[in-house]
Amino acid sequence: MADWQTILLKEDFASDNVYILELNRPEAMNSLNTQMGIDLIECLKEIQEKPDLRVLVLTGSGEKSFCAGADLKERKGMTNEQWKKQHDIFEEAYEHLRNFPFPTIAAVNGFALGGGMEMLLSCDLRYAAEHAQMGLPEVKLGIIPGVGGTQLLPRAIPVGLAKEFLFRGNKIPAPKALEAGILNGISAKEDLLEDTLEIAKEIAANAPLSLKALKKSINTGLETDLNTALVIELDQYYKCANSEDRQEGILSFNEKRKPNWQGR
């Protein structure tokens, strides 16, 4: 396993097929610098091949910040060319996160601003501590979100509400984000990771081929018309129906035991 400079991969829950990816720049509110972008690309590419991984949980180090967005101190004085080169790295990192084959869950333990909010929006499920705040404040800095914010937020909540959050650029408290539909749930800060991992372990106990097929069917189907989406669903259905795991699922049900998934 690689030793990344800005992130930690925790395997405490590997026996339950859940891995924790922790952003680890607490001194900078876990803000996204160039090295973190590189580390995320390398990590996400490497761990998606791990045979025992079924759910990935993302969180931040400490209790203050999940990810405060791009590191503006690093960006100070960058030329347009340097800015573009860095942004290319960020784009690739977020693409790997959005396209991660298994379910991803954000455990938002504090501020999630700019690229930090885009990171949680790039995950499949999102839970936050009660004190967490999130937002896309780019309009206040003379730019707009550039790694998915203007596209992911209107797909997650009503368009008018998404536009309001984007146009105003204000912080959104966790309870309001839950009400809006950005979050799946909120917890006390001391319970957030444990609560999130309970959900992650429940998901990870299911058939890995089914989890991958569900994610691909949903994400791909949402981008097309209903008839095409149903064809996509059927294709994924038969990939599962023709698998050894489908046979194991039926057998274990009848034998009243836990299934022994093989992922094939």
* 33 part of a folded domain: yes
> If you average pLDDT over residues 132-136, what whole number do you get?
97
Q: Pick the catalytic residue from 11, 92, 95, 138.
A: 138
Say if residue 166 is in the same domain as residue 226: no
Q: How many domains does the chain have?
A: 2
pLDDT of 247 reads: 86
> If you average pLDDT over residues 145-169, what whole number do you get?
96
Degrees, nearest 5: CA angle 53-54-56? 80
pLDDT of 203 reads: 96
* pLDDT confidence bin for 15, thresholds 50/70/90: low
pLDDT of 93 reads: 97
Query: Domain of 218?
Result: 208-255
> If you average pLDDT over residues 107-125, what whole number do you get?
97
- pTM assigned to the model: 0.94
Decide if 74 is catalytic.
Answer: no
Separation CA 10–CA 133 (nearest Å):
25
Query: 216: domain CATH number?
Result: 1.10.12.10
Say if residue 199 is in the same domain as residue 214: no
The candidate with the shortest Cα–Cα distance to 63, out of 218, 214, 187, is 187
Say if residue 85 is in the same domain as residue 166: yes
Query: 126: domain CATH number?
Result: 3.90.226.10
Q: Which of 2-6, 83-87, 102-106, 175-179 has the lowest mean pLDDT?
A: 2-6
> If you average pLDDT over residues 197-214, what whole number do you get?
95
pLDDT of 74 reads: 86
Q: Give the chain's mean pLDDT.
A: 93
Q: Which tens digit of pLDDT belongs to each residue from 21-61?
A: 999 999 999 999 999 999 999 999 999 988 889 999 999 99
Q: Pick the catalytic residue from 74, 81, 91, 118.
A: 118
> If you average pLDDT over residues 111-119, what whole number do you get?
97
SS3 71: coil
pLDDT of 263 reads: 79
Which tokens in the block code for residue 260?
Answer: 């022994």
Separation CA 6–CA 75 (nearest Å):
17
